[in-house]
Structure formats: C-alpha cells, structure tokens
Amino acid sequence: MILVTGGAGFIGANFVLDWLAQSDEPLLNLDKLTYAGNRENLASLANDRRHVFVHGDIADSDLTGRLLARYTPRAIINFAAESHVDRSIHGPEDFIQTNVVGTFHLLESTRGYWSKLPAGTRERFRFLHVSTDEVYGSLTSDAPAFSETHRYEPNSPYSASKAASDHLVRAYHHTYHLPVLTTNCSNNYGPYHFPEKLIPLMIVNALAGRPLPVYGDGQQIRDWLYVQDHCSAIRRVMDAGRPGETYNIGGCNEKPNLEIVHTVCTLLDELRPRADGRPYREQITYVADRPGHDRRYAIDAGKIERELGWRPAETFATGIRKTVEWYLANQDWVSNVQSGAYRDWVEKNYGGRPS
C-alpha cells in the first residue's frame, strides 16, 4: 500500500485515479477536505476496496501515527498543500500552518514509523514531496529555465511556505537519512481543477457570460504541464529516483497568460459557441495586477529525462483540448464546486480590482 496526502484535491485526485487505473496496489488517501478538497473528485472509487479514504490533517501527528502503524505503507506521496497565490496574499496563515507546520508533523510521524521498519523494508521506503517551480522566484525573458540547482527566491507567501517545506524535507534526509524525493513542477492544468486558477476560471466564466479577468498586460509567462503527465512523472520518480534528489517536472510549454486565455476562447467558440454567435474574446477584461506577480517561470526538465527517461506525453494543444472538453462534459461538477463561498472569493479577489 502507498499513502497519498491531499488526494482529494486537483493533482492528488488525478494521481489517485490514475494510480488505481494502472495498479492493483491499494492506496490510503488522507485529505483535510478544505475548500479545494472534493470527495466528488473520487466518486468513481466509491465501491473500490483498493481506495481507503480518511478525512484528516497531516498536522495531526496522532492520526498519522496510527494510520502508518495500521496500514504500513511502503511509500508516502505528499500532495497536501494550500496552493493559490492570491489566497496566500489575502490570508497567509493557512499556508504556513499547512505547508510548513503540516509538512513538519508529517515528516516527524514518517521518521518515527520508518525508523522502526525492518532493514530491507526501510531501505525500499520512499517519502516523495510534491512542490512547485514558484520556489525559484521569477525569471527575465532571456534567462535560462529553472534547474534543480537554481537558488530559492520565493516572492509570495505561498511560494515561501513551499520553499520552507522543501528545506524541511531536505534537512530530514541529510540529518536523519530519511529516503526523500522532491519534485518541483510547473503550472498544472486538466480535469478536476478548482475554478480559482486561470484555465478553469476562464472556462467557467466564459460559459456563464461573465468577464474573463486578465492580470496586468497578460504577458506573464508560465510553463504548462498536463496533470496526467505530472502523475506519470511522479510515479517514475517514486520508482527510480535517487533518495535525496530533486527532480523538476515541466510540460515544455512556455506561454503567456493572454495566449492561454485566447486559446480557451477559440476552443469554446468551436465546441460551445455563444448563443449570439459572437467570440468569447469579447469577455476579456484587464484588471490590476496582483502584488508581487512573478513575470516568468520556466522549467528545465532535462534531469528527469536524462536520468529517468521521462518526457510529457501531451502537447499543450492536445492537453488544453482535453481539458476544455472535460469541463464541457462535467457541468454538474462545476456547479457543485461553485458554492457561495467560492463566489464570495471571486468577488473579493477580482471585484475590487481597477481595470
């Protein structure tokens, strides 16, 4: 069995579904079920005995200790995190509690469990920590992409909290020899993405006839990684990665945000045209940029390709089409996640921004 934390969120749920589609190995799923953790993401596993779900917090050491003792996982994959930059600007404390304090408690519980394993089992055990390219800071337009040795320069409370968690994971390897692996990924997109992030927000707002808010001039550049490619990379790192190493995972798709919005609009024009026949691009609205907005992220994923033979399977063209088609086919899921709290958040974050 493996233990996945945060397995009801966007990337975690995709990993859980992908894992059980390809393996009969059981999976223990621990999730706090905050606003972005959604049991509906896992509805297809309701009667699958290979999936054991536990509602709980990685910071609850008593709970994680009991789970580790009972289920004896051979590996832990830590997806659990607060992950939205805008929310971290409005309320950073939750990010410190989950991403820093929570990771610390999970590491401590893991260390206690791992140290008591039989020698052979202990050597095969892995703790894989899922992180972000945002810990590296921002790049100029002509700078080389982030490698695993790029220095950390986090610029938001979110990225600073993830940087802190990465440092804790590294320290537990060097101090206690815990067999850890760290992955730093670029921007993910795909099914089950909570509609506060750029791509699902654009899809949801476009279909509802609402403005499509674009920060600043829309020329902030990101590398885009289809979520199922990310899942395959994590499996590969867990199976063959060297303990103590970091692996950058990218989609080889650097694009400015405005181009992403235009692509989504063009696909919607094709797949779900507006009733009045006019293009969705007419709904684009430019709003004031968020504080400290990083201008460019870019991932150098050469190490994982050289050492582990992994490359993304999807191009951006194929991945974004699959994503838009998924949202069009799953409107009930979209409606269910758009609670009053979600609408209040969107108004708080975008409603007061001058154009």
Q: Give catalytic residues, as residue numbers.
A: 133-134, 158
Are the C-beta atoms of 284 and 290 separated by less than 8 Å?
no
Using DSSP's 3-state secondary structure scheme, residue 215 falls into: strand
What distance in Å separates the CA atoms of residue 341 and residue 286, rounded to the nearest whole number? Answer: 24
Q: How far apart are CA 324 and CA 307, in angstroms?
A: 33
Distances (CA, A) of 92 to 163, 183, 194: 14, 23, 19
**Could you tell me if 113 and 65 are in contact, meaning their C-beta atoms sit under 8 angstroms apart?**
yes
What the block records as the tokens of 34 is 């905050």
Tally of CA atoms within 13 A in the half-sphere of 214 that contains its CB = 22
Q: How far is CA 144 from CA 169, 259, 299, 340, in A?
A: 26, 21, 9, 43
Grouping H, G, I as helix, E, B as strand and the rest as coil, residue 1 is coil
Structure tokens at 246: 């970091």
CA distance 306 to 322: 28
319, 350, 128, 304: which is closest to 223 by C-alpha? 319
